[in-house]
Structures are given as structure tokens and as C-alpha cells.
Amino acid sequence: MQGAAPRGPLSGFRILDLTAVVVGPSCTLTLAEQGAEVIKLEPPEGDLLRKLGGPAPSPDMSPKFIHFNRGKRSIAVDLKTEAGRAVLARLAERADVLVTNMRGGALARLGITWDALRPRNPRLVFCVIAGFGSAGRHHDSPAYDTIIQGMSGFAAALGRVLGEPRFAPFVLCDHITGIIASQAITAALLMRERTGEGQAIEVPMYESMAHFVLAEHMFRRTFDPAGPTGDPRVMNPDARPIPTADGYIAVSANTDAQAFAFFEAIGRPELKDDPRFSSVGARFRNVEAYFTLRAEALRSRSTAEWAAEFRRREIPAMPFQSIEAMLEDPHLWESGLLRREVHPTEGPMTGLGRPVRFSAAGPDELPLAPRLSAHAREVLAEAGYGEAEIAALLGRAVLPPPA
């Protein structure tokens, strides 16, 4: 089958992907990288990320869209029409998983619910990635990554370090929730293999990120009587790449063995007997002094000199890299994460491979991201539609493949 996913742990599972932008596509990208067949069902105007993710040779193939939608097949269906909803229902009958990040009210109006689809396919795993959990007061409020960063403590944590609330320069909440959703889906598939029954899954962004932040930074508010929030070790302004004589280096000396080796490396072996630094607990309690000491010591030599010194002493450390430097990092090219490719419509490009490797999986040959509705004909044919039915749907409820 054209566009089929390579062998992998999810080979043979079919995912019906009704998601857009980043949170849902990051989830289904993970499933595709693990071998699942992903059918991306888009609205006639396409996934918003096609245009929102930056300029490209074609106006609907942004860089972000390309990287989040590798290994998927696209069919654009107008779910506002009765014929379009019938197509969705027919595709869902043959799917193992349906994933959507549409809001609950919109799903109900379109009839895309677990209760509606379960009679047609009781083995279906139905996953809704929502902004907010259905039991809470915000359950049907719209949400994007920045909304969740602002509510969940991400922006507040950055504010403690930077002096004012800031969004992280990544759609972290989308990424993390997408990964959580992919894990929940595989867990539900495992249960289905044991019981034969599908189920509905709700993955709310806010609750997922609140759990993520609070597990890290509830800190002394965990206990009674309540103390302060925020892990001072990671919220310290000096918890950052450390300046050297000619750049920066990232160092993490946490165990006693690593810290004592660090003191030897900077020519201060006596510090291992200093009561402020002589144990993990002591260094945690005196983290500001410990980080100040590191920052002052590393300015004396170059990044390359420190990197060699720390490698010799088995101290975890690596040179700081910009995004531009990462794209030239030999390790990423050797590992196959970065590769040169040629997209059929966008031309030569730098692509991203699978970061996770499975010994039972075949070579990494995920198809490149598709043009809008590029696989409409073949997806409809696989769903059992005849040529006359396909001709009737194209241009009416289904966007034809690009010329």
C-alpha cells in the first residue's frame, strides 16, 4: 500500500487523525514513528499549521507542518456535510484509534462521539485531547499552548528566574500533552488486546501540565504545615549554561563523586570538606553558593578545555550549542536524526528522523508530509467506496487530490 508505515511495534494499527496544529499531530507523529498507519483527516481548508508554521515554497506546507506530519496520509473531508460525516463514520469502522483535539461542543454537534461511533466499532479507541478536563468548570473553553503555559505555572516558573512571567519559546505544553496522549493510546490498545474492548480516553492539557509542574515545584507545599513552592535548585538564576572564557558550557555535577571531581577540576579540592558542599543535601541547601562558585571558576578557561577536562574526570558536561550549531552537529547526522531529503513539491530539505529505535523495526523510511488531501482516492477506495462513489464525493464532501 502506498504510504504504508514501516515495520514497528504499532505496525498493523490504523489511526484516524482528526487533529490540528501541534498537540494532536505530535501525538499521531509518535504513533506513526512507532509503525502505525495514520490517516490525517483534515477540513477542506487544511490543518491550520499548514500556514501558521512559517513560510515554505508552497503556501500550505510550512516547516512545522512538514516536521509534525511525516508518515501520514491526508484526506480533506467537509464534516459540515452529511456526506462528509458518513465518510468519517465509514473510516472509523475500519480504524483502531480515532484521535481528535476538537472541542467537546463541536464534536457533539458533528456526532463525533464515543457513544455514536462505539456501536459501529466496539474495538475503537477514541481519544479526545482537550484543553480542560470535562469535569471542571473550564471544560469547553478554547485553549492553545500559551493559554496553558499561562495557567499551569510554566510562565510563572520562568517569571521567578527572569523577573517577569514569560512563555517558553517552545509549544511545550502541546508537545508534552501529545506525548502523554500517545502513551495513553498505546496503553488502551494493550488493554484491548486483552479484553477485545475499545474505550474512550480524555487527555486534558491543563490537568496534564498542572501535574507536570506541581510534581516538580509543589515542593514544601506538599506537607503540613505548608512551606514555599518551587525547587530552588532549578529555579536559581545560575541554573543555566555557564560562561567560559570564550563561550558557554552545560555542567551537571550532582552526585558526591561528580561534585568532588568538579572541585578537583577547578583546582579547589578542599571544597569537598567544606560543610556547605560536602554532601548532596548540603549542596542543595546551599545551592546559590554552589552555583556562584561554578560560575566564577569556569570563566578561567575555554569551553573546549573545560569539556576535555570534565570528560577525563567523567563529569557530565557538554558544550553549549545554538540551534544553528545543532544543525551542524555530526552526532545528529551520524545517528540519522538529521538527513538531507527531497520533498516531491517542496524540493531539497533537511528532514527529521525517528529519535527512538526499535530492534524489531525496519529501516526509517517514513513518507514525507503530504499535500492536502493527497491520498483522498486511495483512502476512500480502502474504505470500500467504488469508483462512481468516489467521483461523486470528490469536489462535494471530499477535497480532490492536488493536481
Q: How confident is the model at residue 24 (pLDDT cuts 50, 70, 90)?
A: very high
Distances (CA, A) of 95 to 234, 256, 258, 304, 379: 44, 52, 51, 53, 12
* Percent of the chain predicted with pLDDT > 70: 98
Check pLDDT > 90 for residue 285: yes
Q: Minimal CA–CA distance to 250: which of 293, 312, 303? A: 303
Copy the grid coordinates of residue 208: 496534564
Q: Which amino acid is at 154?
A: F
Helix ranges (DSSP H) in 54-124: 63-68, 82-93, 104-110, 114-117
Tens of pLDDT along 130-167?
999 999 999 999 999 999 999 999 999 999 999 999 99
Tens of pLDDT along 256-277?
999 999 999 999 999 999 999 9
Q: What is the DSSP letter of 394?
A: B
Rounded to whole angstroms, the Cα distance separating 336 from 329 reads: 11
Which of 230-234, 298-302, 359-363 is least confident? 359-363
Check pLDDT > 90 for residue 362: no
- The continuous run of DSSP H or E covering 264 comes out as helix 256-265
Q: Which amino acid is at 32?
A: A
| Average confidence (pLDDT) over 198-227 | 96
Tens of pLDDT along 28-78?
999 999 999 999 999 999 999 999 999 999 999 999 999 999 999 999 999
Q: What is the dihedral of CA 95, 99, 103, 104, to 10 degrees?
A: 50
Identify the pLDDT of residue 4: 46
Estimate the share of the chain in helix, then strand, then coil, as percent rounded to the nearest 5.
Answer: 45, 15, 45
Copy the grid coordinates of residue 352: 527529521
Check pLDDT > 90 for residue 363: no
DSSP secondary structure string for all residues of 47-58? -THHHHT---SS
Check pLDDT > 70 for residue 2: no
Check pLDDT > 90 for residue 361: no
CB 94 within 8 A of CB 13: no
| Average confidence (pLDDT) over 97-114 | 95
Tens of pLDDT along 307-350?
999 999 999 999 999 999 999 999 999 999 999 999 999 999 99
Residues 6+ apart with CB under 8 A from 120: 89, 92, 93
Distances (CA, A) of 173 to 131, 169, 237: 10, 11, 23
Q: In what order do the strands lie in the sheet with 242-243?
A: 242-243, 248-251, 317-319
Identify the pLDDT of residue 231: 95
| Average confidence (pLDDT) over 354-376 | 90
Which residue do the cell numbers 484509534 mark?
Answer: 97
Q: Which domains does the chain have, with CATH numbers?
A: 14-212+330-393 (3.40.50.10540), 242-319 (3.30.1540.10)
Average of per-residue pLDDT values in the chain? 95
Q: Minimal CA–CA distance to 185: which of 132, 131, 126, 134? A: 126
Identify the pLDDT of residue 1: 39
CB 90 within 8 A of CB 75: no
